[in-house]
Amino acid sequence: MKRTAFILAILCCFLFGGAASASMILEYGGGVHNYTGSVFALSVNGEELKNLPLEPIIFNDRALVPVREVFEALGAKVLYKSATRDIVITYSGKNVTIQIDSNVAYIDGKTTKIPDGVTPMLIAKWGESAKTMVPVRFVSDSVGLLVDFDGKSGKISVSEKEKEKDKDTKTVQNKITGISAKEKDGVVTVTVTASGNITKMSSPSVTASGTLYVDVDNLGYSISNKKEVNLGAVSTVRLGLHENSVRIAIDTENMKKHSVSISGKSIIFMIAADETAEITPDNKNDDEDNEGKTGDEGKDSNKPKPSELSGGKIYVVLDAGHGGTDPGAIGNLMTEEELEVFHKALQSEEPIVDTLEAGTGKTYYEKTIALSVAKKVRDKLEEKGVNVIMTRAGDTYPTLDERPEIANKRGAAMFLSIHLNSTVMPVTAANGIEIYYSESNNGKEYGITSKEMASIIVKKAAKSAGTTQRGVKAGNLLVTRKSVMPANLIEIGFMNNPDELLKLISDSYQEKIADGIAEGILEVLGKIKLP
Interface residues with Zn ion (CB under 5 A)? 321, 328, 419
404-442 in b/e form (b: 16+ CB < 10 A) is: bbbbbebbbbbbbbbbbbbbbbbbbbbebbbbbbbebbb
In the complex, minimum distance from the CB of residue 458 to Zn ion, in angstroms, rounded to a whole number: 16
Residue 380 or 419 with smaller CB distance to Zn ion: 419
Outline where DSSP puts E strands in 439-481: 469-474
Closest residue to Zn ion, based on beta-carbon distance = 419
For residue 243, the minimal CB distance to Zn ion (Å) is 38
Closest separation in Å from C-beta 420 to Zn ion = 6
Q: Which is nearer to Zn ion, 434 or 452 (CB)?
A: 434
Task: Report the nearest approach of Zn ion to the CB of residue 321 (Å).
Answer: 4
Question: Could you tell me the smallest distance in angstroms from the CB atom of residue 462 to Zn ion?
Answer: 18
The identity of residue 57, as a single letter, is I
Q: Please say which residue, 20 or 330, places its beta carbon nearer to Zn ion.
A: 330
3-state class (DSSP) for residue 443 = coil
- Partners of residue 488 on adjacent β-strands: 416
Distances (CA, A) of 47 to 43, 44, 159, 209, 213: 5, 5, 10, 17, 22
Dihedral of CA atoms 332, 338, 344, 349 in degrees, nearest 10, equals -60
User: Whose Cβ is closer to Zn ion: residue 237's or residue 418's?
Assistant: 418
Cα dist from 218 to 167, 198, 201, 205, 288, whole Å: 13, 9, 10, 19, 30
Burial of 350 (0-12, 13-18, 19+ CB in 10 A): exposed
Q: Strand, coil or helix: what is 414? A: strand
> With respect to Zn ion, which residue has the nearer C-beta, 131 or 284?
284
Strand partners, 98: 87
Cβ closest to Zn ion, residue 97 vs residue 476: 476
Smallest distance from the beta carbon of 419 to Zn ion, in angstroms?
A: 3
Decide whether 55 or 491 has the Cβ nearer to Zn ion.
491
Minimum CB distance to Zn ion, residue 284 (Å): 16
Measured from the CB atom, the residue of 240 and 323 that comes closer to Zn ion is 323
d(CA 321, CA 313): 25
- Closest distance to Zn ion from the beta carbon of 322 (Å): 6
- Give the number of other Cβ atoms within 10 Å of residue 7's Cβ: 11
Q: How far apart are CA 193 and CA 342, in angstroms?
A: 40
